[in-house]
Amino acid sequence: MLNHYLKITPEVSEALSKGQPVVALESTIIAHGMPYPKNVETALAVESLVRKNGATPATIAIIDGQLCAGLSEKEIRHIGKLGKKVAKVSRRDIPFMISKKITGATTVASTMIIAEMAGISIFATGGIGGVHRGAESSMDVSADLQELAHTNVAVVSAGAKAILDLKLTLEYLETFGVPVVGYKTDEFPAFYTRQSGLNVDYRVDNVTELAEALFTKWDLGLKGGVLIANPILKKDQMKFNSISEAIEKAIQKAEQKGIKGKAITPFLLGEIVKITKGKSLDANIQLVYNNAKLAAKLAVALSKKNI
C-alpha cells in the first residue's frame, strides 16, 4: 500500500530482502546540522563507516516528494549544497512534502517513520531532540520524543542535544515508556560531553546483550523505540564548563533575536560552532562517527537474532 510513496535503493532493498543488517541515517544533519562541504564529507564518511562495520547504510530523505530509504552520492551532495534551503521535515510535514513534491531533509522523527516503513530497525544519529529549556511556558517539545514512544526503531545517539533541558527530556521519555540505555555508561551523555549528572535506565556493555533486549521488546509486541545513549569518546569530548558557557551565550542570542520552533536547533548549533571556534563541530562529527560504528555492529547482532 505504501510502495508508491517509498523508494528504496537497490543496495538497501537487496540487504533487507536477505535479512542483512541495515542502518538508517538522517539527512537533517546534512542540510541543517553542518556547513558545506563538511556536511557532505561527514555524510559520506558515515556511510563508509557503516559498511566497514558490516552493515548497509540507508541515508533517508524526501526527494521531489518521494520518501527515500537510501540516497546516491549525487543526492547527498545535492542536499548538502542546498543546505538550509532544503525543508526540514518532521512527522507533521511528510504529507505536504509528498503532495507538493518537495525535497526535504528528515529529522529524527521523520527518519524513524520512513525507516520503519522500509523495515529498518536501527538508526544512527548525532543527538535526538527533546524538551527545550523553558518548555514549562513555551511547550516546545521535539516530535522526536513521541516518535520514540510509538515507532519500532532503536536510535543510537550521543544522548540528547546539550542545548535542551536534559532532565525534563528524560522525564518525558520515562512517562511514555521509552527505555534509555547507556552503552558502557551509567550516565546519560550530553552530546558534546560524556557527563550530565543524570542516570540512564539500564547499562549494557556489549552489542549482543543490546540486540537481545531489542529483539525481546519487539517480540513481546511492546510498541515503540529504544534510545541507546552512546557517549562521545573521551578523547573527542569538550570540557563541560566551556561548552556549557557557549550554550548559555547561544541561547541568550536566540532569545534576543526571537528565534523559536524548528529554527531554534540549527541556529543554536551554528552559534555554538562560532563561539567555540569550530571545536563543537569537530566534536559533533566525531560523535556521529562513533554512533555509526555502534549502530552497524548492533544491526549485525540483531540480524543474527532475526534469522
Q: Per DSSP, which regions of the chain are E strands?
A: 6-8, 22-25, 56-63, 66-69, 87-89, 104-106, 122-124, 154-157, 180-183, 202-204, 226-229
Place of cell 515507532: 151
Classified as helix, coil or strand, 245 is helix
Q: Which of 88, 161, 293, 297 is catalytic?
A: 161
Place of cell 547527498: 76
Q: Taking a C-beta distance cutoff of 8 angstroms, is the pair 21, 15 a contact?
A: yes
Q: Which of 26, 116, 147, 271 is catalytic?
A: 26
Q: What is the DSSP string of 160-221?
A: B-TTB-HHHHHHHHHHTT--EEEES-SB--BTTBS--S-B-SEEE-SHHHHHHHHHHHHHTT
How far is residue 297's CA from residue 161's CA, in Å, rounded to a whole number? 23
What does the block give as the cell for 307? 534469522
Q: Taking a C-beta distance cutoff of 8 angstroms, is the pair 139, 170 a contact?
A: no
What does the block give as the cell for 16? 533487507
Place of cell 552489542: 207
Q: Is 161 an annotated catalytic residue?
A: yes
Amino acid at 284: N
61: exposed, middle or buried (Cβ count in 10 Å: 0-12, 13-18, 19+): buried
What positions carry a catalytic annotation?
26, 161
